[in-house]
Structure 1
Amino acid sequence: MEPTPEHNEKMARMTFASVYPLYLTKIEKKGRTKKELNQVIEWLTSFDEKKIKELIQEKVSFQTFFERAVLNKNAHLIKGMICGYRVEEIENQLTKKVRYLDKLVDELAKGKVMEKILRNE
């Protein structure tokens, strides 16, 4: 299943600041920490904790967020289903990157060990 153009546009406009608290709530309910969440975000995007805070304060869209990111060279190893979509089959590059992040947060919440989440080969 491929996301619709409308879905892709919604992903581009959504702000990182609106989603970050949802990620945090999701992982904290499962006993994970903000530090671990930021570690996962930094692995994918190269944004350290200071930069993450700046992007939240700036209320950047996911479009801007990923334009500024330097995606990890192993991001292509993120595979599987998230929100009804198979991540590796998503053609729209921005939507794929957002779903990469969703998938990493989901794995963190599910208790996966950090080494596996970060796909360090």
Structure 2
Amino acid sequence: MTAHRVYKMSFASVYPHYVAKAQRKGRTKAELDAIIHWLTGYDAAGLATVLEERIDFEAFFAQAPAMNPSRTLIKGVVCGVRVEEVEEPLMREIRYLDKLVDELARGKALEKILRAS
């Protein structure tokens, strides 16, 4: 298996792009953080540590306190690829996050993004 370049990118280097994408569409950083908290289990302090220490995506997901089991309900296309069909586990987790950010930017209600019943 060839490691994708994104695995070694620091989460902190991509996070501002997620924030900018959300804010361009009238959403807030707090909403983005809520999505990250829901998906990974990081709390505000944990996320701040991740950003400060500039850990890479591989470590970001490996060290996540509690990956949400409902993340498998995330369906759809990101960059022309169906997230539910991505076979490589780490890439699937990254695509789940990308899909959630896309849904936020498209104006979807936070309750629906978080797959609340």
Q: Output the TM-score relative to the length of structure 1.
A: 0.92
Aligned structure 1 segments of 4 or more residues deviating by more than 2 angstroms: none
Aligned to 2:48: 53
Q: Please, which of 38, 41, 50 is the counterpart of residue 43 of structure 1?
A: 38
* Mapping for residues 78-117 of structure 1, pairs under 5 Å: 78-117=74-113
| Gaps in structure 2 of 5+ consecutive residues | none
CA offsets per residue over residues 6-58 of structure 1, 9 Å max, x none?
5x521211110011000000000111001100000000000112111110111
- Letter matched to residue 64 of structure 1: A
| Gaps in structure 1 of 5+ consecutive residues | none
Counterpart check, 1:71 vs 2:97: no
Retained in 2: the 8 A contact 1:74–1:120? no
- Letter matched to residue 108 of structure 1: L
Aligned to 1:23: 18
Q: Output the TM-score relative to the length of structure 2.
A: 0.95
RMSD (CA atoms): 1.1
Distance 1:65 1:84 in 2: 24
Q: What percentage of residue pairs aligned between the two structures are identical?
A: 49
CA offsets per residue over residues 69-116 of structure 1, 9 Å max, x none?
121010000010001110000000000000100000010000000111
Aligned residues: 116
Aligned to 2:9: 14
